[in-house]
A and B are shown apart, each in its own frame.
Chain A
Amino acid sequence: ETGVTQTPRHLVMGMTNKKSLKCEQHLGHNAMYWYKQSAKKPLELMFVYNFKEQTENNSVPSRFSPECPNSSHLFLHLHTLQPEDSALYLCASSQGQENSPLHFGNGTRLTVT
């Protein structure tokens, strides 16, 4: 299997639930990213990991908690979300250097009820 794989593809959760999104990359990249894509808005960078170390947190609420156990896996743990958190959550990876192209997964469509 190649590329960037995200699971689940779709997730519906209540505001009191706890769930996790998973991302796995098979490209040998060093950097992994979480993006949020809401309707009619540009992609918003949430978190960046470079060599398993978090290098960026773009003022994301604490109800989103990332985890990067190794360079190939990235998780986004969710708890007590709000309906406005409903969006497409995209994972990406790259070599982590200048001129490194981003490679995206197909995303998880999250609906918070």
Chain B
Amino acid sequence: KQEVTQIPAALSVPEGENLVLNCSFTDSAIYNLQWFRQDPGKGLTSLLLIQSSQREQTSGRLNASLDKSSGRSTLYIAASQPGDSATYLCAGGPGYSSASKIIFGSGTRLSIRP
């Protein structure tokens, strides 16, 4: 059974630091991977989607990469800001079916101190 681990579970850093969030799958056969942000009491906002033919995606200060051989993904946040404080979740799918097979991690709760 596919399981997803996100490390660390929580992280608190001062403003301005660069940081890396990690996500790993027990089954490395990940076809696509999506990173989400969730603010307290809110739904999930899609940040980046790495599709089957890609290894990484960038959006502004965010960069996500996927190593399909190991089933590991990282989300890199450059020059962190207090507004980046949220829970970050990764989700991956095996690709042989629709998005109904996507598995979510438990998330990393990020706090950026001013």
Contact = CB atoms under 8 A, between A and B. Distances in A.
Contacts of A101: 34, 46, 49
Contact of A102 (B34, B42, B51): B34
A107 B98 contact: no
A56 B99 CA distance: 11
Interface string B26-40: 000001101010000
Nearest to A102: B99
Interface in A49-103: 50, 55-56, 88, 90, 92, 94, 96-103
A98 B43 contact: no
A63 B41 CA distance: 24
Contacts of B51: 99
A98 B52 contact: yes
B105 interface: yes
B104 A42 contact: yes
Nearest to A44: B104
Contact of A96 (B36, B42, B95, B98): B98
B102 interface: yes
Interface size class of A (residues with CB under 8 A): 20 to 34
A98 B31 contact: yes
Contacts of B41: 88, 107, 109
Given A31-B99, A102-B44, A102-B46, 12 more contacts: A33-B99, A33-B100, A42-B105, A42-B106, A55-B98, A88-B41, A94-B98, A98-B95, A99-B31, A104-B36, A105-B43, A107-B41
29 contacts: A4-B43, A6-B43, A31-B98, A31-B99, A42-B103, A42-B105, A42-B106, A42-B107, A43-B91, A43-B104, A45-B100, A48-B98, A55-B100, A56-B100, A88-B41, A94-B98, A94-B99, A96-B98, A98-B32, A98-B95, A99-B51, A99-B52, A99-B95, A100-B98, A101-B46, A102-B99, A104-B43, A104-B45, A105-B43
Interface of B: 4, 31-32, 34, 36, 41-46, 49, 51-52, 89, 91, 93, 95-100, 102-107
